[in-house]
Amino acid sequence: MPKAEVGTPKYLANKMKAKGLQKLRWYCQMCQKQCRDENGFKCHTMSESHQRQLLLFADNSRKYMDEFSYEFQKEYLQILKRQFGTKRVNANRVYQEYITDRNHIHMNATRWVTLTGFVKYLGKSGKCIVDETEKGWFITYIDRDPDTIAKEERKNKKKKMDRDDEERNLEFIEKQVKLAQQKSNMQESDEPKNSELIRESEEEVVKLDLKLLKPKPEIMLPPQLFTKVKKEKDDYSSSKKIKLSDHKKTALDEIKEIEEKKKEEKNRKDYWVTEGIIVKIVTDSLGPDFYKKKGIIREVINKYGTVVKLLENGKKIKIDQEHLETVIPALGKLVKIVNGAYRGEIATLLSISEKEFCASLEIAKGPLRGRKLEKIAYEDFSKWED
């Protein structure tokens, strides 16, 4: 039967059918040919080209079987790693993603007869963690890439160091609180206590030695001098009150201030860009398409460089942090602290002080959740895309 001419409805129908997936039993892996029906597959098996391929397979069947098995396993694991990472997922779901490629290696050409056998092989060889449930077999990919392992180790080490610092700070604060309590108890014990007057005998006479002071004669001051003396007295009393209020700081408050200063010095850097925050482009050298446009940072390059995706049209641009500035959202929205003592924390914007160019925040996530921060500069936080 002659082929349909190019452009005819029959030709277009044949092309559309060829794009889709066909039945597996009518596919020849050696010839890499998909037949549409049983009659076409029967004709193909009787062809000369198919017979030659069968002769090649018969000469070294193990070689072809191993190659097909290796390719099948490689493509399957690549899809598992790329799309699902190290998450636990149904094995059949990954297989459905794999067979969407029309030119994939079919399982009937490999050493595995069923998907269950292939999944068990992955578990025995240590490439995946497998477990069977009522809903079928589930697999979890084991990522043995040296870069990934090194990255996870650095991340875990950093978390451990941060946790150790927090624990040491808490222990130090608890010790100082205990010392302050002990000092206050000692001061209370040193104060004289009032006791009841008890006579040793009834005949004992109690004598009171009272020394009366003579009243000093009053000095009459002129009105001008009197107002001056009164003003100086009021100034002295107010300054004394201020000094007393300064001395009311407890040891715990002083320790907290010291810890805040240490955290500020440790986390204050000359670079502030981080992934996930929304920024504004402030340079006009890139043209009107980018000037004063807002975007989200998708990648940080060498601490100072960034890849920004514009919110307006989705365009991406590589730009230095020198040409970016932070974005202040509406009250109640989430922000990320990008510099200073609480660098990296997610917080809620409570209020803004336009005169002082700062804002009040409340940490919204993590172990410090609920802590309120005052006078955080505009450039130390930016809108967070959750």
pLDDT in tens, 155-167: 777 777 777 777 7
User: Would you state the pLDDT for residue 83?
Assistant: 86
Nearest to 128 by CA among 117, 120, 93, 94: 120
Candidate from 141-155, 251-265, 320-334, 341-355 with smallest mean pLDDT: 141-155
Binned at pLDDT 50, 70 and 90, residue 245 comes out as very low
- Going from the N-terminus, what domains does the chain have, and what CATH number goes with each? 23-141 (1.10.10.2030), 271-327 (2.30.30.140), 328-386 (2.30.30.30)
Who wins on pLDDT, 228 or 81? Answer: 81
Who wins on pLDDT, 286 or 28? Answer: 286
User: Would you state the pLDDT for residue 81?
Assistant: 87
* Integer Cα distance of 245 and 241 in angstroms: 6
* Integer Cα distance of 172 and 249 in angstroms: 18
For residues 187-192, average pLDDT: 64
* Integer Cα distance of 271 and 304 in angstroms: 6
Who wins on pLDDT, 220 or 124? Answer: 124
User: Would you state the pLDDT for residue 243?
Assistant: 47
Who wins on pLDDT, 84 or 19? Answer: 84
Binned at pLDDT 50, 70 and 90, residue 244 comes out as very low
As a whole number, the mean pLDDT across the chain is: 79
CA–CA–CA angle 238, 243, 249 (5° rounding): 135
User: Would you state the pLDDT for residue 109?
Assistant: 79
Hey, what's the torsion of the CAs at 357, 362, 364, 365, to 10 degrees? 90
- pLDDT tens string 291-340: 889 999 999 988 889 999 998 888 889 999 999 999 999 999 999 999 98
Is the model's pTM score more than 0.85?
no
* Integer Cα distance of 316 and 342 in angstroms: 29
